[in-house]
Structure 1
Amino acid sequence: MSLFSRSRRVALAAGASLLVLSGISPSVLAQDKLKVAAIYTVPFEQQWVSRIHKALQAAEARGEIVYVASENVSNADYERVMREYATQGNQLIVGESFAVEAAARKVAKDFPNVAFLMGSSGKPQAPNFSVFDNYIQEPAYMTGMIAGGLTKSNKIGLVGGFPIPEVNRLMNAFMAGAKEVNPNVEFMVTFINSWFDPPKAKEAAFAMVDRGADILYAERFGVSDAAKERGILAIGNVINTQDQYPETVVASALWNMEPTIDQALKAVKSGQFKAEDYGKFSMMKYGGSEMAPYGTFENKIPAELKAKVADREKAILAETFVVEIDDNQPKPTAR
């Protein structure tokens, strides 16, 4: 599914005509732009995918790439769409292969001259299958500190999609951060077994509030809605939704995909792309993650707590404190 609207295609055609009149061949300029395709199993607005989509759109806006993408691709159709994009001359294909790992790696083998950059729990596959992941456990730890310092009931609820490493490591880091400032905090943990089902996530969150949780970790869409309706706080994940929930979302761990995407584009353009793990580019030292500004909660969080978080951030960036990467499924501790 192309991202180009009809009106945009008309505008591009008009621009090409002007280039011809000025003696510049559009094909010459087009050769400088990489052709990039992306395949997503969920809507563009879903948290995780929205960050990849945003980074690729930024590269397109800079004139570096020609970008097309498909959203809501079923697992059964994923391989077919990958092959179509590979045969259409795209030089880099981006996507998430967690549920279609074997099929995605098979396609990469069949197209050794195409670069593949896929979200994956697995290892790179020579010569052209690179992997990335949302290693944003560092800001997740910091948001956990905030939650641990603000809870009054000492009960925090966490709602996630699936208990896979990409989710587990963030929840575990969040829980560890909360424990640092509040050893008495307890956790409720629920997985909805879906990447995009806001009503189901909302219901799971309601059940936690009914059991005494006064802060919710919103790993999925729908959780912040539950927090807003019940008048409690929420911690965001991957994106900052505070503008939608100004009295609810107190902090968020943000994932910035630009460092990962820009590194891959540079490698493809220079002819140096190879099978690598791009996961490190999601970490804070590379600008791949950060904690969102406090915004509407700037003056609502105790100064002492903010100071502790700021000190922890400095230690993380100085590499004198390392947030453990724990990919094991988090265990609930609330009675």
Structure 2
Amino acid sequence: MPPISSDPSRRLLLGALSLTSLAITLSLPMQAHAQAKTKVAAIYTVPFEQQWAGRIHKALKAAEARGEIEYKASENVSNADYERVMREYATAGNQLIVGEAFGVETAARKVAKDFPKVGFLMGSSLKPVAPNFSTFDNFIQEPAYLTGMIAGGLTKTNKIGMVGGNPIPEVNRLMNAFMAGAKEINPKVEFSVTFINSWFDPPKAKEAAFAMIDKGADVLYAERFGVSDAAKEKGKLSIGNVANTQAQYPDTVVASALWNMEPSIDRAIKLVKEGAFKGEDYGIYSMMKYKGSELAPLGTFEKKVPADLIAKVQAKEKAIVAGSFTVKVDDSQPKSTAK
């Protein structure tokens, strides 16, 4: 064993190094705590593949991939089971719970009240509640208006079929915006509107679309999955909603109004990390100004849509983002105008 140095300066150096090592060791738990990932859970009443849930799931998976959160999710949860699942996630230490309060508003808000230190970000038509119940909505009526313009310019029969899930404000406003956009380009266009009263029933949506095609519709608004399948089989065109499915239907889906949940999800995660999450309305973060929605690229239809129509759509898009044109939010149930 080498002798201990009698050099005073060396002894001071060794002492300083020991104190530095001790400080680093003591700080490790604090650093680990500061860098701990935020625990987030999501609850969906539909499968992950359903477009609405899918967009939220996508944004949360992206945050997980970046290493920001620990993410757990449950799909196909029935309304009767929703409160139990919410409570289990809250009790398990999740700091943020994301989901949908439609149909379970009373239960969801009751759970949030019982866990005031947990942040809740829930899809809802109603208002947020202090201190911890925030709401969001798919306010993507702006790109829906733009897709309507495209549909109005492409129809040759002047008949457009529209298949929706349920006639609630979140669906109605998108369909009404689409219809207004189509009418701007083509005042002669007529609409057939049907609701399948389900959030995920592709076969039923497909049959509804077939009926519209039989009545002359050559462009279909696919608010639900299944509509584009009918359009593909019959050689008609379709317009997508919430998610871009052109890759699956390259000769059928002309354009889509995309919903991007990343601005809302990323904001909620940031506030939870900062201890600043509170009950507020996240609806505006789904609008084009915040990149919460957009018109999907025309892709395979880029050279198939007339240049003058594209120019009109692009001009309207710029006006929307600049704030010089506002797409009306109309939550009333849309009606058929076709004779």
Q: Please report the TM-score for the alignment, with normalisation by the length of structure 1.
A: 0.92
Paired with 2:172 and 2:273, the residues of 1 have a C-alpha distance of 34
Is 1:229 matched up with 2:233?
Answer: yes
Report the counterpart of residue 78 of structure 1 in structure 2: 82
Paired with 1:31 and 1:332, the residues of 2 have a C-alpha distance of 55
Shift of 1:126: 1.1
Shift of 1:86: 0.3
What is the one-letter code of the residue matched to 1:65?
Answer: I
What is the one-letter code of the residue matched to 2:252?
Answer: T
Report the counterpart of residue 213 of structure 1 in structure 2: 217
Structure 1 gap segments, 5+ residues each: 1-22
Paired with 2:174 and 2:181, the residues of 1 have a C-alpha distance of 11
Deviations along 1:86-140, whole A, 9 cap, x unmatched? 0000000000110111110010111111000000000001111000000000000
What is the one-letter code of the residue matched to 1:116?
Answer: F
Report the counterpart of residue 10 of structure 2 in structure 1: none
Paired with 1:265 and 1:314, the residues of 2 have a C-alpha distance of 30
Paired with 1:27 and 1:62, the residues of 2 have a C-alpha distance of 19
What is the DSSP-based 3-state SS (H/G/I as helix, E as strand, rest coil) of the residue aligned with 2:276? coil
Report the counterpart of residue 99 of structure 1 in structure 2: 103
Is 1:166 matched up with 2:179?
Answer: no
What is the one-letter code of the residue matched to 1:83?
Answer: R
Is 1:182 matched up with 2:183?
Answer: no
* 1:1-335 superposed matches below 5 A: 28=32, 32-335=36-339
What is the one-letter code of the residue matched to 1:215?
Answer: V
Using a 3 Å threshold, how does the CA distance of structure 1 residues 90 and 27 change in structure 2: closer, same or farther? farther
Paired with 1:29 and 1:115, the residues of 2 have a C-alpha distance of 19
What is the DSSP-based 3-state SS (H/G/I as helix, E as strand, rest coil) of the residue aligned with 1:221? coil
Shift of 1:230: 0.5
Paired with 1:244 and 1:30, the residues of 2 have a C-alpha distance of 43
Shift of 1:32: 2.3
Shift of 1:29: 6.0
Shift of 1:25: 7.1
Deviations along 1:158-181, whole A, 9 cap, x unmatched? 000000000000000000000000
Deviations along 1:49-88, whole A, 9 cap, x unmatched? 0000000000011111000000000010000000000000
Q: Identity percentage over the alignment? A: 79
What is the DSSP-based 3-state SS (H/G/I as helix, E as strand, rest coil) of the residue aligned with 1:76? helix
What is the one-letter code of the residue matched to 2:170?
Answer: E
What is the one-letter code of the residue matched to 1:305?
Answer: L
Report the counterpart of residue 12 of structure 2 in structure 1: none
Larger radius of gyration: 2
What is the DSSP-based 3-state SS (H/G/I as helix, E as strand, rest coil) of the residue aligned with 1:68? strand
Paired with 2:42 and 2:30, the residues of 1 have a C-alpha distance of 24
**Alignment: residue pair count:** 313
* Root-mean-square deviation (Å): 1.4
What is the one-letter code of the residue matched to 1:77?
Answer: D
Paired with 1:45 and 1:77, the residues of 2 have a C-alpha distance of 20
Using a 3 Å threshold, how does the CA distance of structure 1 residues 211 and 30 change in structure 2: closer, same or farther? farther
Paired with 1:36 and 1:27, the residues of 2 have a C-alpha distance of 21
What is the one-letter code of the residue matched to 2:248?
Answer: Q
What is the one-letter code of the residue matched to 2:217?
Answer: A
Report the counterpart of residue 3 of structure 2 in structure 1: none
What is the one-letter code of the residue matched to 1:172?
Answer: N
Structure 2 gap segments, 5+ residues each: 1-26
Deviations along 1:146-199, whole A, 9 cap, x unmatched? 000000110100000000000000000000000000000000000000000000
Paired with 2:209 and 2:122, the residues of 1 have a C-alpha distance of 31
What is the DSSP-based 3-state SS (H/G/I as helix, E as strand, rest coil) of the residue aligned with 2:139? coil
Paired with 1:275 and 1:81, the residues of 2 have a C-alpha distance of 21
Q: Please report the TM-score for the alignment, with normalisation by the length of structure 2.
A: 0.91
What is the one-letter code of the residue matched to 1:47?
Answer: Q
Paired with 2:304 and 2:30, the residues of 1 have a C-alpha distance of 55
Using a 3 Å threshold, how does the CA distance of structure 1 residues 63 and 29 change in structure 2: closer, same or farther? farther
What is the one-letter code of the residue matched to 1:264?
Answer: A
Shift of 1:26: 12
Paired with 1:333 and 1:118, the residues of 2 have a C-alpha distance of 34
What is the DSSP-based 3-state SS (H/G/I as helix, E as strand, rest coil) of the residue aligned with 1:167? helix
